[in-house]
Structure 1
Amino acid sequence: MSRVSMKTVSMRRGLMAATALAGLMAATSAPGAAQAADCPAVTVADMQGLSAPVPYQFELTEFQKAGSCELTFQENPAAAEMNGKITGNPALPALADRLPKDPLVLIPYDEIGTYGGVFTGLSKATESGTSDLLSVRHVNFVRYADDLKTIVPNVAKSWSWNDDYTELTMNLREGHKWSDGEPFTAEDVVFWYNDLILNKDVYPETPDRWLFAGKPMTVEAVTPTQVKMTFPVPTPGIVNRFAVDFGQPFQPKHFLSKYMTKYNPDADKLAKEMGKENAVEALKVFYSGSDWKDVPTPLLSGDAKMVTPTLESHIVIADTSTGRKLVANPYFHIVDTAGNQLPYINEIDEQYVKDKEVQNLKITNGEVTYKAQAVFIEEYPLLKENEDKGGYKIFLTPALGENVFYAFNTTHKDPELRKIFNDVRFREAMSLAINRDEINDVVQLGQGKPMQYVPAEPSTVGFVTDDMLNYMIKYDPEAAKAKLDEMGLKDSDGDGVRERFDGKPLIVRLVYASQGAPVRMHELVRDYWADVGLRVDLKEVTSDEYRAGANNNDLDLTAWKGDNIAAPTISQDVTSFVPMFGDYFNPGTGFEWAAWKTSGGKEGIEPPDDVKALYTLSEKFLQYPLNTPESDKLGAEIVDIHVKNLWKIGTVGEVTNPVVHRNDLGNFKEYTAKSYDYYWSYPYRANQWFIKK
């Protein structure tokens, strides 16, 4: 595979080669100079002879050159009204002064949309099941096109690498502005990394995901529109992170620096006026120490009447215990081919609905504009039956990373359970006791394939073999019982429940959140394990409660979908490879192994040799582009270690899952795949969706 030179180029790539990194360079042209609205209002359905350099979008100068035209710009008629709802925003200047000098021109799927309307979506709670709606308004430097193969510009206009993937240069858009009208520049990227990520007051320990071989990168503003990132080791997958990740590598320096004594001598005074003890506490009101965008805003806590400015398509204006309301960002950087500033949709109404039955009722009543996350195939018959009544469409699409796993807590606080769970024979027995064919028929409606869990989505990489996927998946309860007998786990009193080595009954509690997997699957697995002598008590909690318990090492086992394992993710983030074999939002097992590694052996529990090997292999894995011989060799070694240890026991892969959208949602296209790993709707350009009149 050839290296990418400092010249900016555009490269296409397949799912199995998702790290060939490149960019696009375009000249600039001021929107204010446009004189005539004679550009062709092309759509994907009717390109009128034009050809875009990347899927379904142009830079402004590319579009004007292709169409031999100049584009005139139009704003949402309600822009001023919506701006008035954004606390702290000044009166709106003319649209030409709100758009970048070279805005991104998006080609709508079917038609030029119309402004207005309210987009109604459902989440579970403040930080539960929210990423689906986050993705609707999301932006980052780049994104995947809807082919899930090609990385295209978004916030960044273009990008380039040096020869060894240690220097990445991002080129921004001149004149791009935050949602409060202040300039967005390379300094906002430098500020994000140097003053937030590396700030010990914000992050006492720098997040591992922003360290590279354990060391920080350096971020430098070369010019106001050019930022250079220098990595201590080759890091070819980082552009994939910017294409699929929830974390945005920019924060508004002009806004947040007011709460830093480094930049503002009166920061502590300002904090006290807010009722906070010091500037650090005031800063955390607006930046909580998390890249995650859906932490509760200060509107919910009452600490402030405004939120941190954003580059996203919509900005939060109300935050309560029952949901959020957002309005369109009047400074958004994308226009359509008719010159209309996007987004088309005026408002987003995010409602919190924890109960699955209430969620389904709202969908079947036609109250929900769109829903993908936490809609499983078991709901498909009900939702399909009510399509006409509810005025919506439901379709099934490939769902990447949906193989539900069960992970026993190998560093359990109870030494007796820890001893049992650490014996690989126990984990093998639990795998053999699962009837995956029945799960596929009952839960997945026969649409999936029995499959072992692997920490790399098989359809997106080339190093996962059939032998790995079929390891210990045959339903064989007698073989499972034999392994438990061999361990010495007997049922002495004949009550159907085996005893632990200390004589107590072998009982585990499966604490779960319905967002993570279909409840019916947990019920089936409970019964399978009961048949071989393990009693499982089920307890449903919220996603927040589940995550808190797991990350505090309080759970007997964890269960969730296998997200964060598709090629774009593992090319830049190997948290699925090493303890805790996941992240805060989707934890696996081995929490005390992770503590041992993080503390340099001073805390936690020393892991076995196979786990230690994973740390070395994973660090090397990140330094090669995917689908190269070096990457495939390392990837195969990593997966082989995982499969033979069964730290996560898989169930059914290659599943399809539903996506629901109301009939009045214009420019909606069926998904190539439904996947958190590609960040739900982000590849499908939700800012072009509109509510039909």
Structure 2
Amino acid sequence: MKKLLLSGVAFVAFGGTAWASCPSVTVADMQGIGSGAFPQQFDLAEFEASGGCSMTFAENPSIGDLNGMIRGNGNLPALAERLPAEPLVVVPYDAIGQYGGVLDALSNATESGTSDFLSVRHVNLFRYSDDLQTLVPNVAKSWEWNDDFTQLTVHLRKGHKWSDGAPFTSADVVFWYDNLMMDSNVIAEPKDYALAGGKPMKVEAIDETTVRFSLEAPKPGLTETFSFTYVQPYQPKHFFEKFHPALNADANANAQALGYENGYELIKAYYGNSDWMDTPSPMLTAGDKLADLPAATMPTLESHILVKESTEGRHYVANPYFFQVDTAGNQLPYISEMDETYVPDEEVRLLKLINGEVDYKSQGVNLTSAPVLLENQEKGNYTVEVQPSIAAPTIAFNVTAEDLDRRAVFNDVTFRQAMSVAIDRGQLNEVVAFGLGTPLQYIGFSPRPDYIDESWTWHEAEYDPERAKTLLDQAGVVDKDGDGMRELPSGAPLVLDWQFSTQEVPAQLAELVAQNWTDVGVKTTIKEVTSDEYRSAQSANTLDVLMWAKGQPAGSILGDGEIWVPPFDGYFDVRTGMLWAEYISSNGENGVEPPAWVGDLKSHLDTYQSSAPGSDASIAAAQKMVEIMAGQTLFIGTINAPSPVYHSNNLNNVPTFKTSSYEFYRTYPYRPAQWWLSE
């Protein structure tokens, strides 16, 4: 191979044929290059064919120093040996970026308010494009379904490597499923997205770059799950197999030699005991044992890897083996380092944003903060855009409360309807959302598909305090002692001690709703707690009133129906019916038997998930799901309001988000590996 220079343009000659260097195209200026098979990205061969060019690669000049910060990594081979044979070519939005810089981020705590920052470095097999409609390849090179959605075949990129340089292959996908997800010693109970028709899938490595998911029931939403969630359906087998009892007879001994009780305990030190990605790493939990562990953190495919962790925050450096390049051949990410600081106090977080100490933030920035943020944009050198949200603050009562008198009342749909119509959503909209929101009832689907009758979005949501009082009387919740406040049917006091977190919901909303309920005779006191305190108490079944933002698009429900079965969401969200869930998971041996409508809801969910999207069966099942969920008023909707997205003006290639929602995994559709920092 030899280089030629013709009229100032570099060409590369292969076997006598001259090929121009590839054009540095951007979304803003495609320079005549046609669209690829998927928006804003190409596979390497596809891009070279479109441009009639041959790509040469370049790397971050600091990548060697950054790699030196990753404990356990050896010296770096040449870039060509670190990239896949066919890397993903990402088209930057506005400009080819510059390497370097530290992105400063804020979170509440180790596992609180972290998902917007986690989504900056996140990757998955697939991704939603920024139109929030088109699924595109990411870690995977391609995929195909069989005709009835019972077999998904995924093709990986040849030569793809983990952040420590070890090969990433189909064996890592099989390991994730068989030895982590389906091993009850690691994750106690399989997640809904990991099952099809309630039964495990068969995950097979056909060859090193081909993996096949075989399902006992159709599940077209499986690709959705591997596109919009934080769940990564692969983990580094080479890193864990020495300590996994199912894979190594000496696993427990190997772990005990490092000070762990057994192999599973060591695995959970890295992977946690769930599928959530921001559990504390051994850097925070291992103490003196850290020096003996294989590495400070497990290898990743993400754009950045964790290298430091304390109770005050985390620090990340660029993954030297990241699989993406820009159209000029520069290995991504552009940003060299990321720094995450924990600030549990909302007012302190807001002050840091106003002062321009943060480069990007969207989670936990409530709309009530927008005026002061907007007022200080120029001074703080940042931009705030108020964008639509998918989820809305949603309230529930604990239908399996330990107090049997309260449990009986909370299980009465008449009581729940009374508490819903007692809420002045118009006032909530004006005070909390500055009139920019939409009052609504919770129906499960968000946004509402056209095939769901619009009337459900206002079911039992019209403000009517007199009707609320009548319904409370019917539920037996009456004022027995004449003090103006209602008691339980037994005569015991009914005071709702409402604990809430402002991570997802502004305090003003809780204050107004509490006053609405007190006004109809149900005395309600409120107390702000941290998100960790709220989640812990909710999981322990000790709360009466529960609240968090809730909502899910129709497409994602195809793959994950967690919000439709007890306890009706995951650990990080609003849940109710904890003892119903325990009854179901124990096959009736423990917990409390749920009412019949819960089983009906699950049956319709199964039909919805196994039917072709848009088919008559799918639509009919969705309509029944909404009829039950909204009809039971198990969760009470409030208002759907937009929320702020904040970024420094030094952060480049940041597009306008279509939504700032967790439900499309926040930042992930907007390709943050091509963000870059200027001075």
TM-score for both structures, normalised by structure 2: 0.95
Q: Is 1:284 aligned to 2:272, yes or no? A: no
The aligned residue for residue 320 of structure 1 is 310
Of residues 620, 625, 630 in structure 1, which corresponds to 2:617? 630
Change (3 A) 1:354 1:203: same
| Contact kept? 2:56, 2:329, Cα under 8 Å | yes
The aligned residue for residue 451 of structure 2 is 463
The aligned residue for residue 397 of structure 2 is 408
Deviation of 1:589 (Å): 1.4
Q: In structure 2, what is the Cα distance between the partners aligned to 1:205 and 1:373?
A: 28
| Contact kept? 1:588, 1:648, Cα under 8 Å | no
Matches within 5 A, 1:427-438: 427-438=416-427
Q: Is 1:214 aligned to 2:198, yes or no? A: yes
Residue 576 of structure 1: SS of its match in structure 2? helix
Change (3 A) 1:463 1:578: farther
Residue 456 of structure 2: SS of its match in structure 1? helix
Residue deviations 1:499-549 (CA, integer Å, cap 9, x gap): 112222210111111112111100000000000011112122221221121
| Contact kept? 1:547, 1:585, Cα under 8 Å | yes
Q: In structure 2, what is the Cα distance between the partners aligned to 1:622 and 1:579?
A: 17
Of residues 308, 332, 336 in structure 1, which corresponds to 2:322? 332
Residue 404 of structure 1: SS of its match in structure 2? strand
Count of residue pairs the alignment pairs up: 657
Residue deviations 1:76-120 (CA, integer Å, cap 9, x gap): 000000000000000000000000000000000000000000101
Q: In structure 2, what is the Cα distance between the partners aligned to 1:686 and 1:535?
A: 47
| Contact kept? 1:36, 1:72, Cα under 8 Å | no
5+ residue gaps, structure 2? 1-13
Q: In structure 2, what is the Cα distance between the partners aligned to 1:224 and 1:175?
A: 10
Matches within 5 A, 1:143-222: 143-222=127-206
Q: In structure 2, what is the Cα distance between the partners aligned to 1:36 and 1:369?
A: 40
Matches within 5 A, 1:74-473: 74-302=58-286, 303-304=289-290, 306-401=296-391, 403-459=392-448, 461-473=449-461
The aligned residue for residue 39 of structure 1 is 22
The aligned residue for residue 670 of structure 2 is 684
Q: Which moved more, 1:631-640 or 1:282-291?
A: 282-291
Residue 559 of structure 2: SS of its match in structure 1? coil
The aligned residue for residue 35 of structure 2 is 52
Q: In structure 1, what is the Cα distance between the partners aligned to 2:24 and 2:678?
A: 18
Equivalent position amino acid for 1:94 in 2: A
Of residues 469, 494, 505 in structure 1, which corresponds to 2:482? 494
Of residues 512, 516, 533 in structure 2, which corresponds to 1:545? 533
Deviation of 1:482 (Å): 1.2
| Contact kept? 1:237, 1:625, Cα under 8 Å | no
Q: In structure 1, what is the Cα distance between the partners aligned to 2:459 and 2:184?
A: 44
Q: In structure 1, what is the Cα distance between the partners aligned to 2:194 and 2:412?
A: 34
Deviation of 1:211 (Å): 1.9
Deviation of 1:265 (Å): 4.2
Residue 96 of structure 1: SS of its match in structure 2? helix
The aligned residue for residue 655 of structure 2 is 669
Q: Is 1:534 aligned to 2:522, yes or no? A: yes
The aligned residue for residue 566 of structure 1 is 553
Q: In structure 1, what is the Cα distance between the partners aligned to 2:595 and 2:266?
A: 43
Deviation of 1:415 (Å): 0.5
Change (3 A) 1:446 1:225: same
Q: Is 1:582 aligned to 2:600, yes or no? A: no
Q: Which moved more, 1:302-311 or 1:672-681?
A: 302-311
| Contact kept? 1:665, 1:692, Cα under 8 Å | yes
The aligned residue for residue 492 of structure 2 is 504
| Contact kept? 2:271, 2:277, Cα under 8 Å | no
Q: Which moved more, 1:517-526 or 1:620-629?
A: 620-629
Residue 203 of structure 2: SS of its match in structure 1? strand
Q: In structure 2, what is the Cα distance between the partners aligned to 1:588 and 1:46?
A: 47
| Contact kept? 2:550, 2:574, Cα under 8 Å | no
Residue deviations 1:46-88 (CA, integer Å, cap 9, x gap): 0001122211000000000000000010000000000000000
5+ residue gaps, structure 1? 1-30
Deviation of 1:316 (Å): 0.3
Deviation of 1:490 (Å): 2.1
Of residues 579, 603, 627 in structure 2, which corresponds to 1:592? 579
Deviation of 1:625 (Å): 3.0
Q: In structure 2, what is the Cα distance between the partners aligned to 1:419 and 1:321?
A: 42
Residue 77 of structure 2: SS of its match in structure 1? coil
Q: Which moved more, 1:72-81 or 1:480-489?
A: 480-489
Equivalent position amino acid for 1:421 in 2: F
Equivalent position amino acid for 1:38 in 2: S
The aligned residue for residue 626 of structure 2 is 639
| Contact kept? 2:164, 2:299, Cα under 8 Å | yes
The aligned residue for residue 542 of structure 2 is 554
Q: In structure 1, what is the Cα distance between the partners aligned to 2:238 and 2:407?
A: 50
| Contact kept? 2:549, 2:574, Cα under 8 Å | no
Equivalent position amino acid for 1:215 in 2: K
Deviation of 1:642 (Å): 1.1
Q: In structure 1, what is the Cα distance between the partners aligned to 2:105 and 2:482?
A: 51
Residue 455 of structure 2: SS of its match in structure 1? helix
Q: In structure 2, what is the Cα distance between the partners aligned to 1:37 and 1:83?
A: 32
Deviation of 1:370 (Å): 0.5
Deviation of 1:404 (Å): 1.1
Deviation of 1:601 (Å): 1.9
Deviation of 1:227 (Å): 0.5
| Contact kept? 1:155, 1:173, Cα under 8 Å | yes
Q: In structure 1, what is the Cα distance between the partners aligned to 2:507 and 2:608?
A: 35
| Contact kept? 1:256, 1:286, Cα under 8 Å | no
| Contact kept? 2:193, 2:222, Cα under 8 Å | no
Residue 455 of structure 1: SS of its match in structure 2? coil
Equivalent position amino acid for 2:624 in 1: E
Deviation of 1:395 (Å): 0.7
Deviation of 1:188 (Å): 0.6
Residue deviations 1:123-143 (CA, integer Å, cap 9, x gap): 110000111111000000000
Deviation of 1:273 (Å): 2.6
Deviation of 1:627 (Å): 2.3
Deviation of 1:210 (Å): 1.5
Deviation of 1:36 (Å): 7.2
Of residues 508, 517, 534 in structure 2, which corresponds to 1:520? 508
Q: In structure 1, what is the Cα distance between the partners aligned to 2:312 and 2:399?
A: 37
Residue 588 of structure 1: SS of its match in structure 2? coil
| Contact kept? 2:384, 2:646, Cα under 8 Å | yes
Deviation of 1:602 (Å): 2.0
Q: In structure 2, what is the Cα distance between the partners aligned to 1:570 and 1:207?
A: 13
Change (3 A) 1:35 1:575: farther
Deviation of 1:593 (Å): 1.6
Residue 316 of structure 2: SS of its match in structure 1? strand
Equivalent position amino acid for 1:414 in 2: D
Q: In structure 1, what is the Cα distance between the partners aligned to 2:42 and 2:191?
A: 35
Q: Identity of counterpart residues, as a percentage?
A: 47
Q: Which moved more, 1:531-540 or 1:383-392?
A: 531-540
| Contact kept? 2:399, 2:407, Cα under 8 Å | yes
Residue 474 of structure 2: SS of its match in structure 1? helix
Q: Which moved more, 1:295-304 or 1:229-238?
A: 295-304
| Contact kept? 1:285, 1:298, Cα under 8 Å | yes
